Amino acid sequence: MKLLKYIIFFIICIIQSNLYADNNSILIDKISKNLRCLICQGQSVYDSQSEFANSIKILINKKIQEGNSEEEIYSYLKNKYGQWIVYDTEINKKTVYLWLFPVILFVFGGILIIRKVFIN
Amino acid sequence: MLITQIGNYSLILGLFLSIFFIFYLILILYGFIKIKLNNIYSILFIQLFSVLISFFSLIYSFVISNFTNETVYNNSHTTKPLFYKISGTWGNHEGSLLLWLLVLTLFIFLFFIDSKKQPKIYRLYTLVFQQIIILGFFLFVLFTSNPFSYIFPVPLEGLGLNPILQDPALAIHPPILYLGYVGSSIIFSASLSALVSKHINNFWAQHIKKWIFISWIFLTLGIMLGSIWAYYELGWGGFWFWDPVENVSLMPWFCLTALLHSILVLEKRSELKSWTIILSITTFSLSMSGTFLVRSGILNSVHTFANDPGRGVFILTFLFILILISILIFFFFQTEENVRENKIYWLSRETSILVNNWFMIFFLAVVFIGTTYPIFLEVLTSEKISVGPPFYNKLLIPFLIPFLIFMAIGPNLKWIKNDFKKVNFYKFFVFIFLCFITFIFAEKFKIKNLFTIILIISSLYLLISSIGDLIFKRKNISQNISHFGFSILILSIVLNGILSKEFSGNMKIGEEVKFYNEIIKFKKVETFNRENYKSVIATFEIENNKKKLILLKPELRIYNQPNIITSEADIKSSFYEDKFLVFSVLKKNNIFNVRYQVKPFMIWIWVSTLLIIFGGFVRLIKIK
């Protein structure tokens, strides 16, 4: 039981630590890593030195200083440039199958294996 | 020029040989002609030889910068170093297809020599299927992407090879990857032929296993080389970005790895016959669509596809025909025995291999859907979405955790039936012990994500378990090495991901920046003139808190033809971390953008992949 207590304690510690707020520049890095540089080939805004990427970085900085949250910045950019700019695909009506298909397939595969092993 | 003619005509000779050969084989199979093995050997050899001649004539054209040839003109330049003139041969669409063709003809020749002990009818059918693929490639090369077309008037200078491709790792990356892809074509033809000639049994499994391991080794090596290249050449310090072009090489790998496991069940227990055939067909279809998709440009953007309708339509038709043929054969020649399902015991090696296949197919599905979904969505709704690294991380990591644990348990189970009481429970205590160690580690390094911690625990578990098997059991060394390598791979990727530190900012010459417990000093910038580029080399000193100095000299290369700037990172690798520095010029004079990264365990990502490959290699040697 002691074991379990420790494990639960540690898990709580870790979940707690998720709540620490990031400071500004880390947030800029985090957001820009998740944005596609629209004029580059397969590079994020963070990784690119192009004019487009630099202007986006400045824009993010400005938005953060105006007090916008991460989500608000994403939705602003999505409105302006479309879904294409954000790497982290959001779950909505059009992308629900993207997330669901693999999982459905996994469940289906599991059923096949169970059939092979237990029934038949 | 004569050399172009020779190349072109020997290619046409190869095409006609292929057509003739298919008819010849069919006549033999229907009993109209008596089989003469020597004739078959000669035809295969002449075909290989003709492709070899045309390949070497293309290399020769590249070496002497023969600009009457359009392919050479488009991809070469007189000032390019000899090594890259040669590697430029397969650094373009036309040449790379010729290389495909060369490997195809080489492999079928080797296959025929190697399969002497197998039934004749099976060998002949394999030749027929392989020749259909070869014929398709001949037609594709000659009619849509001929590497020997003339250009007139003859230009004085070529357009040059894209400088980021002028790199040793990328020079050998395509041939190695192709060896893997084409190896899967042999597996494909052999499976269809085994189906037709009713030869799916453990004897066949033993024989085809060799080819599965060969292709798997080359495919893994090829993917690794591409990744190493991305790491030091693309200048952002990452090695995998879930880019469509990367994904396309990973998909056949998942499928081939599943096959590599399921073939063992077929060999030992004569089970999973249909499933093994399905995996063989899928692996090849994925490899081929991979090469074509990358080459035709459909992946980067759907619109590139329309730019060259001829090629695109050919690709789709050919793929469609091959898949249709295999599906028809699969259903027509399916026997009772192949489909019959025998129950397998729940706690056995067979079940554990099924579990491996289950996860592999899931990983494949994630990558496949992640890569193709945006294409279909854009065609159907004209909405463009990005599916980037976060998608793959979110879907793959939770499943990777049980996968790692199964990888540790599975190989220790017995074939047919494992007594539940004989399962070693001491490993459970190892697991608990590892949990504690990891939590202490996580506290120290302030790792916040719970998933990451569980991932570390499960890969440590696999690590300890495979080392234990390697030392105490020594029953299956090759498998132990590969699984051990995989645990290190996951561990180093995770630790690298969470412990990497990075400085990114603008610096002037002479400036110093403090970064954690190090000081980055920008010393000087020098310029040199090289064979086909101008080189700008910067010198940085990294001083740590013990006053120890490390010198880093990143480079910018300004190529003259085509006029492109590439940045070469300087990387100092050590046992436990890489120091990676790259710089670029900003518009304002004398100010440079500097990016310095400390990446722990980077070298272990490559070492562990080599270990995985080495495990496969050990098994391959043992087959003979």
Strand partners, B572: B579
Interface pTM, i.e. ipTM = 0.86
Range of the domain at B38: 1-161
Q: Would you say residue B349 has pLDDT above 60?
A: yes
Q: Where are the alpha helices (DSSP H) in B469-601?
A: 477-499
Which pLDDT value is given to residue B250?
Answer: 94
For the residues B80-89, what does the mean pLDDT come to?
A: 88
Supply B344's token pair: 């397998």
pLDDT at B311 exceeding the cut of 90 = no
DSSP code, position B150: B
- Least-confidence region, from B40-49, B58-67, B444-453, B533-542: B444-453
Instruction: Select, from the ranges B185-194, B292-301, B532-541, the one with the highest average predicted confidence (pLDDT).
Output: B185-194
Q: Are residues A82 and A96 in the same domain?
A: no
What does the pLDDT read at residue B486? 96
The H-or-E segment that residue B594 falls in is strand B591-600
* Distance between B300 CA and the closest CA of chain A, angstroms: 8
Cβ neighbors of B63 (< 8 A, separation 6 or more) are: B82, B85, B86
Does A41 fall in a domain? yes
- The CA distance from B622 to B624, in Å, is 5
Residue B106 belongs to a domain: yes
Q: Write the single-letter amino acid at B185.
A: S
Domain count, chain B: 2
pLDDT-derived band at B54, boundaries 50, 70, 90: very high
B511-523 confidence digits (pLDDT tens): 888 888 888 999 8
Quick one: pLDDT at residue A2? 54
Record: contact A117-B439, CB cut-off 8 A: no
CB spacing of A84 vs B384 below 8 angstroms: yes
pTM over 0.95: no
Question: Measured between alpha carbons, how far is residue B412 from residues B219, B345, B352 in Å?
Answer: 27, 15, 10
A75 shares a domain with A105: no
| pLDDT exceeds cutoff 90 at B167 | no
Considering only A6-15, A39-48, B127-136, B608-617, which range has the smallest mean pLDDT? A6-15
Pick from B362, B445, B594 the residue to mutate for testing the A interface (most A CBs within 10 Å): B362
Specify whether the CB–CB gap between B80 and B167 falls below 8 A: no
Within a domain: residue A47?
yes
* CA–CA distance, B14 with A119 (Å, rounded to integer): 53
Contact (Cβ atoms closer than 8 angstroms) between residue B534 and residue B527? yes
CB-closest option in B369, B377, B388 to A87: B388
Alpha-carbon gap: B551 to the closest alpha carbon of chain A (Å): 24
User: Of the segments B316-330, B441-455, B585-599, which one has the largest average pLDDT value?
Assistant: B316-330
User: What is the gyration radius of the CA atoms in chain B, in angstroms?
Assistant: 27
In terms of Cα–Cα distance, which of B520, B605, B530 is closest to B223?
B605
Same structural domain, A54 and A111:
no
Domain boundary among B134, B161, B188: B161
Q: In this structure, what DSSP letter does residue A22 have? A: P
Nearest to A110 among B358, B446, B593 (CB): B358
Q: What is the pLDDT of residue B299?
A: 60
Same domain as A27, residue A59:
yes
d(CA A46, CA A54): 9
Kindly tell me if the per-residue pLDDT of B428 is higher than 80: no
Look at chain B and count its residues.
624
**A36 and A56 together in one domain:** yes
pLDDT (tens, 9 = 90+) of chain A, 120 residues, equals 555 555 555 555 444 444 444 467 788 888 888 888 887 766 788 887 778 888 888 888 888 888 888 889 998 998 888 888 888 888 888 888 899 999 999 999 999 988 888 875
Q: Does residue A15 lie within any of the structural domains?
A: no
Residue A36: DSSP 8-state: B
Region of B431 (left: φ > 0; alpha: ψ -120 to 50; beta: rest) is: alpha
Best of A1, A9, A10, A96 to mutate (most B CBs within 10 Å, chain B): A10
3-state secondary structure of A23: coil
Q: Tell me if A94 and B238 make a contact (CB, 8 A cut-off).
A: no
Please tell me the distance in Å from B295's CA to the nearest CA on chain A. Answer: 16
> What is the CATH classification number for the domain harbouring A43?
1.10.8.640
Residue B368 falls inside a structural domain: no
**A9 lies in a domain?**
no
Q: Does B395 touch chain A (CB under 8 A)?
A: yes
Given its phi and psi angles, is residue B198 left (phi above 0), alpha (psi -120 to 50 degrees) or beta? left
Residues B133, B321: Cα–Cα separation, whole Å: 10
Residue A81 belongs to domain spanning? 23-88
> A118 with A70, same domain?
no
B358 inside 8 A of chain A by CB: yes
User: Angle, to 10 degrees, between the axis of helix B93-114 and the axis of helix B273-296?
Assistant: 160
- Residue-averaged pLDDT of chain B: 87
**A84, A100: one domain:** no
**Residue A11 is assigned to a structural domain of this protein:** no
Interface subset of B 236-275, CB within 8 angstroms of A:
236, 238, 241, 243, 245
- The predicted structure's pLDDT at residue A120: 57
> Does residue A62 share a domain with residue A81?
yes
A115 and A68 in a single domain? The answer is no
- Indicate whether A57 and A78 sit together in one domain: yes
Q: What is the pLDDT of residue B445?
A: 76
Please give the Cα distance from B595 to B513 (Å, whole number).
12
In a domain, A4, yes or no: no
Residue A66: inside a domain: yes
Nearest partner of B305 among B387, B378, B240, B246, judged by Cα: B378
User: Residue A6 domain-assigned?
Assistant: no
For chain A, say whether B401 makes contact (Cβ under 8 Å). no
Q: Domains in chain A: how many in total? A: 2
The pLDDT of residue A20 is 40
In the stretch 25-54 of chain A, residues with CB closer than 8 A to chain B read 34, 36, 41-44, 47, 49
Q: Cβ separation of A94 and B381 shorter than 8 Å? A: yes
Q: Which residues of A touch B361 (CB under 8 A)?
A: 105, 109
Quick one: pLDDT band at residue B493, thresholds 50, 70, 90?
Answer: very high
In this prediction, residue B58 has a pLDDT band, given cuts at 50, 70 and 90, of very high
B154 found inside a domain: yes
A29 and A84 in one domain?
yes
Last residue of a domain, which of B143, B161, B179? B161
Distances (CA, A) of B324 to B56, B329, B365: 35, 9, 21
B196-217 tens-digit pLDDT: 999 888 899 999 999 999 999 9
A35 in the same domain as A76:
yes
Is any Cβ of chain B less than 8 angstroms from the Cβ of A62?
no
